[in-house]
Amino acid sequence: MDGEKQPQKRERRDKSELNAFENLYENFRNVPLKYLDIFIGLCVAALVLVIALGVMNR
């Protein structure tokens, strides 16, 4: 019975809630890695593009 004492556990969590960043990354638990990879790829592409634009516009 792994969840047998849930109500008590919840009580304890209130006590230790110290900051907004706690388990920040847990919020992304359900994001597929593939999407994240695509996102990173897009950002890298954008970075290269921005630098290229900057070089051309000088």
Residues that bind other proteins (CB under 8 A): 1-9, 12-13, 15-25, 28-29, 31, 33, 36-37, 39-40, 43-44, 46-47, 50-51, 53-55, 57-58
Angle at 44 between CA 38 and CA 46, to 5 degrees: 100
- What DSSP designation does 28 have? G
Q: Please, where are the H alpha helices in the chain? A: 6-16, 33-56
| Distance of closest approach, residue 13 Cβ to other proteins, in angstroms | 8
| Distance of closest approach, residue 58 Cβ to other proteins, in angstroms | 4
| Distance of closest approach, residue 19 Cβ to other proteins, in angstroms | 5
Tokens of 24: 């920040």
